[in-house]
Amino acid sequence: MDVTIYEVAQRAGVSIATVSRTLRGTGPVASKTREKVLKAVEELNFTPSRLGVSLAEGRHAANGIVFPNLAGPYYTQVLLGYEEVASELGRSVVILSTKGRTNVRDAVKDLAGRVDGMLVFGHTAPDDLVRELTAAGTPLVFISREPLPGADTLRSENTASAQLLAAHLQEHGHERFAFLGAPMTVGDDVDERWQGVRSVLGAAIEAVPTEEYTVECGHAAALKLMRGRNRPQAVVCSDDEVALGALLAAEELGLSVPGDIAVTGWDDIMAARHARPALTTIRQPMREMGALAARALDELITGARSTQNHLTLTTELVIRASCGNHPQEEPR
Amino acid sequence: MDVTIYEVAQRAGVSIATVSRTLRGTGPVASKTREKVLKAVEELNFTPSRLGVSLAEGRHAANGIVFPNLAGPYYTQVLLGYEEVASELGRSVVILSTKGRTNVRDAVKDLAGRVDGMLVFGHTAPDDLVRELTAAGTPLVFISREPLPGADTLRSENTASAQLLAAHLQEHGHERFAFLGAPMTVGDDVDERWQGVRSVLGAAIEAVPTEEYTVECGHAAALKLMRGRNRPQAVVCSDDEVALGALLAAEELGLSVPGDIAVTGWDDIMAARHARPALTTIRQPMREMGALAARALDELITGARSTQNHLTLTTELVIRASCGNHPQEEPR
DNA sequence: TCCTTTTCTGTAAGCGCTTACACGCGCTTG
DNA sequence: CAAGCGCGTGTAAGCGCTTACAGAAAAGGA
């Protein structure tokens, strides 16, 4: 916002075109000229204005990311991987949290105007805007959402893992189940998880909604559930945070986990390992998803690829103490 | 990147100036003209190019934030509060993680070129660049750093809280202490905490460094510490994550906490409450700090304030089970 | 009716950069 | 020795917008 290319040019006694060429390495520049220019740049401490460059180049060199909130570790981890790769590719990251926002549509649209492409979680952006953006050719990558035309989607495997988890719980002898944190949106990760466990457990599992997927809401809903008559023997939670809430509720009610009631989570966030009992959960490669999203976006932006990719990453069932008694505990 | 103000003007049969005035509400526009313009805008689905606007206005309407990494909840929480307020003030947030980056200086400089002002954690930006930026008048707010001329600083209280914590541990009868996660930088939060506990405990506390302030590093260092002869009776950790690592180490060695060894953290992150034993820690208002930083930055950017503020927020000692046996446990 | 205001609108000059194009110059080459 | 060729450099036309300024039209007053 200070010294411009004109002042550099003047000081070096050349035209602005030459300065630009020198700095970007495009086009030939005599070595003597180059030196004069570099000297002037040095003396004036010149840095090209990002705005000017972007306007002339017609690109922002920035990526957007839209998430509901940053409260839990899940989005954070994805963001981490995303930022890392984006910046490796020379792009900044502009963030947008939709939680508690009255006008999401405008906010996303504004973001779209600041970046070359965006990563969007689930259904955080309004559908009509998404259609508008894909129609306009804005590169878009989605995480935790069913595939849609005109954009990449990226998610980790849910259904099969959920079935695996359900089967494991059955092996422990549990017979009455609850799914805490019932899906709110069709087609997102939680919905797939629910469908997965349900396909195995059928009528033996009951869907119990929570307000949000947070510790607090999980805690509140779990309290109610565990106090009710016909308490389930195992509670499958939509994610680790809800599960942590359930653990808290059990403790409060004097129920032993997994003795009186088993609890499982999803994601394998840090606290899952530190909780007591440690949470049985499904680990998904959050950080890697962010990284992959950044690369996918890069391909779409640079035009290296024009088709859509729909990737599903594999997950891992992490068995700890909260799901039932195991002969030997896992070390560490 | 599509339809421009020219096309709108042409379609509405007016000049681009009129379109601009209509959309921004600056200057008078006849109501008939306004309607024509709005109709054209609607039909063409026009959105002003952020780049064009910024270049003409001379401002980015964006804030930057520089942090070491996003691994733990601390930075995330601050970021959360920051983004919330920033977007409330009509500014986007561009993030920059310095962890694992070879050229931090250039990255920060690039960021500075994209925003109207930045929030910087501790000493993540090189000192000479900071001087350069403050000299150039770039609005800057720091968190967790000693005050410096030309920029705001914002931090939560450390020394007194540390003294309080130390005194509390003494009341439990502990006599030999270790500070796990010894400070790496003079003047940052951890350094102040260390100075605080030390001022009370004197020679009774020993500084034990960790590679980083993470669970893993805390775990590794704690293992070594707890295995050594003359094991301390209480371990004061630089932050909750290191403390969680210490808890893990104790469990691994079959030591009971707080029976054999007491452990305390700092920050009161989510996992602190869920760990067993739950962590005694110092809660600092992370989210609020982010929010305050955004407001401070806004004042500096808009020029509403030209002096520097150096705020210190109060913290709260949260006593849980990990520091020693208390007559009655806190409920929940 | 003529002149002064007021209201509205258009022209054009930026904002800071990139780059196509053209031009001049010193060399090679037939 | 003239034609041809590269290399180096400058000129100028954008990129998409805002806004000072000026001019035109409408409105009001005497």
Residues of chain B found within 8 Å of residue A247, distances taken between Cβ atoms: 274
Q: Which tokens go with A202?
A: 């059928």
Average pLDDT, chain B: 93
Q: What are phi and psi of A88, to 5 degrees?
A: -60, -30
Q: What is the pLDDT of residue A274?
A: 80
Residue A77's nearest CA partner among A316, A314, A319, A292 is: A292
Q: How far is A197 from chain B (nearest CA, A)?
A: 26
Q: Is the pLDDT of residue B158 over 90?
A: yes
- The C-alpha of B117 sits at a distance from chain A's nearest C-alpha, in angstroms, of 12
In this complex, do B271 and A276 lie within 8 Å of one another by their Cβ atoms? no
pLDDT over 80 (residue A330): no
Answer whether B111's CB lies under 8 Å from B64's CB: yes
* CB within 8 Å: A114 and B62: yes
Are A31 and A265 within 8 A, CB to CB? no
Which candidate from A52, A58, A274 shows the least CB-CB separation from B271? A274
CA distance B68 to chain A (A): 11
Q: Which of A81, A89, A21 is nearest to A61 (CA)?
A: A89
Contact residues on chain B for A73, CB-CB shorter than 8 A: 73, 76
Spatial distance between the Cα atoms of B240 and A222, rounded to a whole number of angstroms: 27
Contacts across the A-B interface (CB distance below 8 Å): 126
How crowded is residue A206: how many other Cβ atoms within 10 Å of its Cβ?
A: 16
Give the domain B159-284+317-331 fold. Rossmann fold (3.40.50)
pLDDT surpassing 90 at residue A275: no
- A57 CA to centre of own chain: 29
pLDDT confidence bin for A195, thresholds 50/70/90:
very high
The shortest C-alpha distance from B181 to chain A (Å) reads 19
Does the structure show a pLDDT above 70 at A182? yes
pLDDT value of position A328: 53
The Cα A19–Cα B11 span in angstroms is 39
Nearest nucleotide to the CA of B55, by C1', is C15
Of A294-298, B275-279, B304-308, the range with the highest mean pLDDT is A294-298
Amino acid identity of B131? Answer: R
Pull the structure tokens for residue A326.
């195991």
Say how far apart CA A271 and CA A76 lie, in whole Å: 14
Q: Chain A, 31-70: which CBs lie within 7 Å of strand D?
A: 32-34, 55-56, 58
- pLDDT-derived band of residue A37, with 50, 70 and 90 as boundaries? very high
Percent of all residues in chain B with a pLDDT value above 70, rounded to a whole number: 98
Q: Assess whether pLDDT exceeds 70 at residue A332.
A: no
d(CA B64, CA B331): 41
Q: Does A50 sit within 8 Å of B110, measured CB to CB?
A: yes
**Helix, strand, coil % over all residues of chain B, rounded to 5:** 45, 15, 40
CB contact under 8 A, A95 and B96: no
Residues of B in contact with A70 (CB under 8 A): 76-77, 79-80, 83
Contact A60 B51 (CB under 8 A): yes
> How many Å from the CA of A31 to C1' of D5?
21
Average pLDDT over residues B216-244: 95
One-letter amino acid for residue B163 of the chain: Q
CATH topology of domain A62-155+286-312: Rossmann fold (3.40.50)
A18 touches strand D (CB under 7 A): yes
State the pLDDT at residue B300: 96
Rounded percentage of chain A residues whose pLDDT exceeds 90: 88
Q: For position B271, what pLDDT does the model report?
A: 80
B92-97 and A92-97 strand pairing: antiparallel
B67 Cα to chain A: minimum distance (Å)? 11
**Residue type for A82, please?**
Y
Asked if the Cβ–Cβ distance from B94 to A94 is below 8 Å, we say: yes
pLDDT at residue A46, rounded to an integer? 94
- Spatial separation of the C-alpha atoms in residues B259 and B255, rounded to whole Å: 8
Which nucleotide lies nearest residue A24, CA to C1'?
C18
Q: Residue B135 CA to nucleotide D10 C1', Å?
A: 35
Answer whether any strand C atom is within 7 A of the Cβ of B29.
yes
| Burial bucket for residue B101 (CB in 10 Å: 0-12, 13-18, 19+) | middle
Q: In 10 A of CB B224, how many CB atoms?
A: 11
pLDDT for B331 = 43
Which residue of chain B comes nearest to A61, CA vs CA?
A: B114
Say whether the peptide bond before residue B28 is cis (omega within 30 degrees of 0). no
pLDDT recorded at residue B332: 40
Which residues share a beta bridge with B118?
Answer: B64, B140
What stretch(es) of chain B map to CATH 3.40.50.2300?
A: 62-155+286-312, 159-284+317-331
**Angle of CA points B227, B232, B235, to nearest 5°:** 100
Give A276's pLDDT tier (boundaries 50, 70, 90).
confident
- Which residue in B50, B80, B276 is closest to A114 by CB distance? B50
Amino acid making up residue A180: L
Q: Which residue is nearest to nucleotide C9 (CA to C1')?
A: B18
Burial A153-163 (b: 16+ CB within 10 A, else e): bbbbbbbebbb
Query: Are the beta carbons of A70 and B55 separated by less than 8 Å?
Result: no
| Closest nucleotide to A12 by C1' from CA | D9
Burial of B206 (0-12, 13-18, 19+ CB in 10 A): middle
Give per-residue pLDDT as tens, A46-81: 999 999 999 999 999 999 999 999 888 899 999 999
**Would the Cβ of B129 be found within 7 angstroms of any atom in strand C?**
no
The CA distance from B285 to the nearest CA of chain A, in Å, is: 14
**Nearest C-alpha in B relative to A104:** B87
CB atoms within 10 A of CB B304: 9
pLDDT band of residue B51 (cuts 50, 70, 90) is very high
Is there a contact between A87 and B101 if contact means CB atoms under 8 Å apart? yes
Q: How confident is the model at residue A327 (pLDDT cuts 50, 70, 90)?
A: low
Distance CA(B291)–CA(B145), nearest Å, equals 17
pLDDT of residue B327: 61
Taking the C1' atom of every nucleotide in all shown strands and the CA of A27, the nearest one is: D8
Counting every residue written for chain A, the total comes to 332
- The alpha helices in chain B, defined as continuous H runs, are 5-12, 16-24, 31-44, 50-57, 73-88, 104-112, 127-135, 159-171, 189-201, 215-227, 240-252, 270-274, 286-302
CA of A56 to C1' of C9 (A): 30
* Matching residue, tokens 């980083």: B212
Let me know: does A264 contact A120? Beta carbons within 8 Å.
no
Residues of chain B (30-49) having a beta carbon less than 7 angstroms from strand D: 46-49
**Where exactly does CATH 1.10.260.40 map onto chain B?**
5-56
Instruction: Confirm if B36 and B12 have CB atoms less than 8 A apart.
Output: yes
Q: What confidence score (pLDDT) does residue A190 get?
A: 96
Residue A50, φ and ψ in degrees, nearest 5 = -60, -40
Q: How far is the CA of B189 from the C1' of C26 (A)?
A: 65
Q: Which helix (H) or strand (E) holds B235?
A: strand B234-237
Rounded to an integer, the average pLDDT of B233-246 is 96
Sign of CA dihedral B259, B261, B262, B268: negative
Express each pLDDT in A102-138 by its tens digit: 999 999 999 999 999 999 999 999 999 999 999 999 9
The residue among B299, B303, B307, B297 whose CA lies nearest residue B141 is B297
A319 vs A225: CA distance, rounded Å: 24
Identify all chain A residues contacting B111, using CB atoms and an 8 Å cutoff. 92
Asked if B92's CB is within 8 angstroms of A93's CB, the reply is: no
Residue B277 preceded by cis peptide, ω within 30: yes
Residue B227 pLDDT more than 60? yes
| Residue from A114, A279, A301 to probe the interface with B (highest B Cβ count within 10 Å) | A114
Alpha helices in chain A (DSSP H): 5-12, 16-24, 31-44, 50-57, 73-88, 104-112, 127-136, 159-171, 189-201, 215-227, 240-252, 270-274, 286-302
Q: What is the domain class of A5-56 according to CATH? A: mainly alpha
Distance from CA of A192 to the nearest CA of B (A): 27
- Strand D footprint nucleotides (protein C-beta < 7 Å): 7-12, 14-20
Cβ of B52 near strand D (distance < 7 A): yes
pLDDT in tens, A1-24: 589 999 999 999 999 999 999 999
